[in-house]
Amino acid sequence: MKQLTFDVVVIGGGHAGCEAAHAAARMGARTALVTLKRSGIGVMSCNPAIGGLGKGHLVREIDAMDGVMGRIADKAGIQFRLLNRRKGPAVQGPRTQADRKIYRTEMLTEMESTKNLDIVEGEVIDLLMESDRITGVLLEDGQRISCRSLVLTTGTFLRGVIHIGDVSRPGGRMGDNPSVRLAERIDSFELPMGRLKTGTPPRIDGSTIDWSILQSQPGDEDPVVFSFMNSKPFARQISCGITHTNAQTHDIIRENLERSAMYGGHIDGVGPRYCPSIEDKVVRFAEKTSHQIFLEPEGLDDTTIYPNGISTSLPAEVQEAYVHSIEGLTQAKIVQPGYAIEYDYVDPRALDLRLSVKGLTGFFLAGQINGTTGYEEAAAQGLVAGLNAARHAFDAEPVLFSRSDSYIGVMIDDLTSRGVTEPYRMFTSRAEFRLSLRADNADQRLTPKAIDLGCVGAERTAVFGNKMERLIAGRSLLQSKSYTSNDLKKLGLPASQDGARRTGLQILAYPDVNCDALATSDPEIAEIQADIRAQLERDALYANYVDRQQRDVNALKNDEAMKIPSDFDFRKIEGLSNELKSKLLKTGPGNLAQAGRVEGMTPAALTLILAKLRQEQRARSA
C-alpha cells in the first residue's frame, strides 16, 4: 500500500477543515486535507449566509490572519448588509447572502491552488497511534497517511441522527454517512461528551413563490465586504424577500405538534435558544400571532430559496401544509423538507487553548464537534487548530489568542473554560472589550501577529504595511493639531467647557464629529484619504473607553501569561475548599485568568493558586 507522509492531516472539508488546512499550509507545514469527496469542500449545509453580529467580527479576524473565509465570502456575496450601520462601529457586523455554488467552487479552487496543501479523497476509518501520540490515519481503501498533527473537523458525524417527523435515520448532514469505526476510536479516548440538536427549514423552489405581493429587502447601496484585501463585491447583487407566518400557520403547527420529532419525544439533545424551530416559537411565544420569514436565495442561477425562520422537524406533509398557509407561498413547491439533526459533541473543556485534546499528543478538534454552531465559529476554530497543528509539527511554541485581542480569543476561552450548554454562537455581548475588538480594526489587532508567525502572504503584508503607514501619518497629523474653544466655535463644533485646547484626535472623539468638519479649514487634513479618515474617526470615537479599559486588559494579560501546566494538581493546595478543588479539576483551567473565572473563585483563593504555581516553577527550574 502507498504510504503518504505529511506534517499535518486535516479530516473534513467544511468550514473548520478548510480554514485549518489552509492555515497549516500557510505556516509551511506539508498538509493533507482528507475529505470524502472533493465536491464536499466548502459546502454550506445550513443557511446561505456568512457574517452578522459577532460572526462578522470572526470573519474579519480570520481574514486579518490571512485566512480564507472572508475572501471567499466576498467572491460569493450576493447581498451585502452592514448590520447596525447607524450605530457605533464596535457593534457593526458585516453580513452577506452567499451563492452556494460560487462559494463551493471558489473554496475548492483556493484549496487546490494553495502551496503545501494536498487534497486526498477518501474516508478515514481509524487513527494510527503510538501510545497517546497520533501518528497518522487509516483510509477505507487501506492507505495510511502518517502525520505529526491531526485536526479532526467532522461536524455532526458523531452519532448524528436526522429526524423528519417520526422518521429518523443515522446521518451527518443530508446525504452523508457517519463513519462508525472512527466514532468508536474516538469513544475509546473516553472524552466527556454531550448531545445537541439543530434544525433546518424546508427549501423552496423560488419560481413557485409569488414575489410580486411580498416585501423585498435589498442589500446596502454602499456594500461593505469582509476582506481587508477587497473593496467591493464580485458577484451581481440581489434582494431577499420577506413574508410572515399567520394564525392559520400557527394552527396547523399546533394541531400537529405531537408529530414533530422535537415535541414527540424523539429527540433529547439541547437546541440553540437563538435558533428555535417554528414549533418552539409557536409554543413558547403563543401570544405572537405572526413571525417574520426571510426568503433567502441560495444562488444567482439557483432557484432554491432558504426560508429563514421556519426550521422544523414536522413530517413532510405538515411542512407542506403550513408553508402553503403563508402569504406568497400558497403555491410553493418544497424541494427538500426541513429536518432536525442531533449529534454528539466533545465537551470543549477537554481541550486546551490550542484546541488540542488534553492528554493526547498531536490531536486537535475544531468546529461543530466542539459544541459550536455557525460557519464562522467553525472557521475561526479551524484557524486556531491549523496554526497550532503546524506549530506542533515543528515543535514550536503554541499560538494563543486572548480575550483582550480578539473574538477568536473570547470564543476559545469560553469554550475551553466554561464548556457549552447549547450550541455556542458568537455574540458581541460575549466580548467584554467590545469597544476595542471591532470588525474595522481586526487587521490592526491581528495582522502584525500573523506576520510574525509567518502565515501572511507577501501581497497582504504589503497592503497592510501601506495602510498602517498612512494611518500612523494621519493620526500624528491630527494629534499635532490643536484647537481653542474659539477655533471650534468657528468650525461650528461643540466648544470645550473648560476652555482648554483640544487636539484633532480629541475632537474626533465627540459624537457626530468627523474629519470633514476639520478638513474644511485645513488643507493638510483635507489630504488624508477617505479610508484613513474613516478609520481615524472610528478609533478616536472609543479612545477614552479603550484607555479606561487598559488596566483591565493588562491585568487580564498578566493572568493569561501565568500558565497552569496540565499536570498541576489542585488537590494539593491546602486552604482551597473541596468544592472549589473539584470545579478546578473538572474545568482544568489553562492559565490563571481562566482559573479566576471558575464559579465560586475568590481573589484570595486565586492568590493561593498563584503562590503554588510559583513554588512549582521554582522547583522545576531548580
- Answer yes or no whether residue 91 interacts with other proteins by CB under 8 A: yes
When binding is defined by CB under 8 A, the residue of 81, 148, 481, 583 that contacts other proteins is 81
Burial label for 430, CB within 10 Å (0-12, 13-18, 19+), is middle
Considering the complex, state which of residue 89 and residue 122 has its C-beta at the smaller distance from other proteins.
89
- Answer yes or no whether residue 430 interacts with other proteins by CB under 8 A: yes
- Answer yes or no whether residue 604 interacts with other proteins by CB under 8 A: yes
Q: Minimum distance between the CB of residue 280 and other proteins, rounded to whole angstroms?
A: 8
User: Residue 208 and residue 320: Cα distance in Å, rounded?
Assistant: 13
For residues 537 and 515, the answer to whether their CB atoms sit within 8 Å is yes
* Conformation bin of residue 512: beta by default, left when phi > 0, alpha when psi is -120 to 50: left
Locus of grid cell 468657528: 490
User: Residue 518 and residue 507: Cα distance in Å, rounded?
Assistant: 9
When binding is defined by CB under 8 A, the residue of 6, 103, 157, 294 that contacts other proteins is 294
3-class state of residue 598 by DSSP: coil
Angle of helix 55-64 relative to helix 375-393, nearest 10 degrees, comes to 30
| Residues 504-533, interacting with other proteins (CB under 8 A) | 511
Q: Minimum distance between the CB of residue 246 and other proteins, rounded to whole angstroms?
A: 15
Angle of helix 15-26 relative to helix 100-112, nearest 10 degrees, comes to 30
- Answer yes or no whether residue 429 interacts with other proteins by CB under 8 A: yes
Considering the complex, state which of residue 486 and residue 558 has its C-beta at the smaller distance from other proteins.
558
Scanning 11-19, 337-345, 373-381, 432-440 for contacts with other proteins by CB under 8 A, the matching segment is: 432-440
When binding is defined by CB under 8 A, the residue of 1, 2, 3, 87 that contacts other proteins is 87
3-class state of residue 478 by DSSP: helix
- Answer yes or no whether residue 614 interacts with other proteins by CB under 8 A: yes
| Residues 210-229, interacting with other proteins (CB under 8 A) | none
Query: What character string, x for contact with other proteins (CB under 8 A) and - otherwise, covers 549-568?
Result: --x------x----------
Of 229, 189, 127, give the one whose Cα is nearest residue 351.
Answer: 189
- Answer yes or no whether residue 618 interacts with other proteins by CB under 8 A: yes
User: Residue 174 and residue 363: Cα distance in Å, rounded?
Assistant: 27
When binding is defined by CB under 8 A, the residue of 358, 545, 553, 581 that contacts other proteins is 545
Scanning 4-12, 52-60, 129-137, 168-176 for contacts with other proteins by CB under 8 A, the matching segment is: 52-60
When binding is defined by CB under 8 A, the residue of 273, 489, 572, 586 that contacts other proteins is 273
Scanning 247-255, 282-290, 342-350, 388-396 for contacts with other proteins by CB under 8 A, the matching segment is: 282-290
Tell me the C-alpha to C-alpha distance, in Å, between residue 323 and each of 203, 314, 338: 10, 12, 11
Considering the complex, state which of residue 83 and residue 229 has its C-beta at the smaller distance from other proteins.
83
- Answer yes or no whether residue 275 interacts with other proteins by CB under 8 A: yes
- Answer yes or no whether residue 83 interacts with other proteins by CB under 8 A: yes
Considering the complex, state which of residue 472 and residue 611 has its C-beta at the smaller distance from other proteins.
611
Scanning 166-174, 271-279, 347-355, 370-378 for contacts with other proteins by CB under 8 A, the matching segment is: 271-279
Burial label for 284, CB within 10 Å (0-12, 13-18, 19+), is exposed
- Answer yes or no whether residue 292 interacts with other proteins by CB under 8 A: yes
For residues 373 and 437, the answer to whether their CB atoms sit within 8 Å is no
- Answer yes or no whether residue 602 interacts with other proteins by CB under 8 A: yes
When binding is defined by CB under 8 A, the residue of 95, 250, 349, 533 that contacts other proteins is 95
User: Residue 32 and residue 7: Cα distance in Å, rounded?
Assistant: 8
For residues 24 and 65, the answer to whether their CB atoms sit within 8 Å is no
Q: Minimum distance between the CB of residue 141 and other proteins, rounded to whole angstroms?
A: 42
Scanning 165-173, 322-330, 355-363, 608-616 for contacts with other proteins by CB under 8 A, the matching segment is: 608-616
- Residue 11: phi, psi to the nearest 5? -100, 120
For residues 487 and 506, the answer to whether their CB atoms sit within 8 Å is no
User: Residue 10 and residue 154: Cα distance in Å, rounded?
Assistant: 10
- Answer yes or no whether residue 603 interacts with other proteins by CB under 8 A: yes
Single-letter amino acid, residue 347: D
Reduced DSSP (H G I as helix, E B as strand, rest coil) percent helix, strand, coil of the chain, to 5:
40, 20, 40
Considering the complex, state which of residue 67 and residue 596 has its C-beta at the smaller distance from other proteins.
596
When binding is defined by CB under 8 A, the residue of 291, 324, 333, 581 that contacts other proteins is 291
Scanning 48-56, 107-115, 154-162, 348-356 for contacts with other proteins by CB under 8 A, the matching segment is: 48-56
- Answer yes or no whether residue 434 interacts with other proteins by CB under 8 A: yes
Q: How big is the chain, counted in residues?
A: 622
Tell me the C-alpha to C-alpha distance, in Å, between residue 80 and each of 75, 84, 235, 236, 571: 11, 13, 11, 11, 53
- Answer yes or no whether residue 620 interacts with other proteins by CB under 8 A: no
Residues that bind other proteins (CB under 8 A): 47, 52-54, 81, 83-84, 86-88, 90-91, 93, 95, 272-276, 280-281, 284-285, 288, 291-292, 294, 308-309, 427-430, 432, 434-435, 511, 545, 551, 558, 573-575, 602-608, 610-612, 614-615, 618
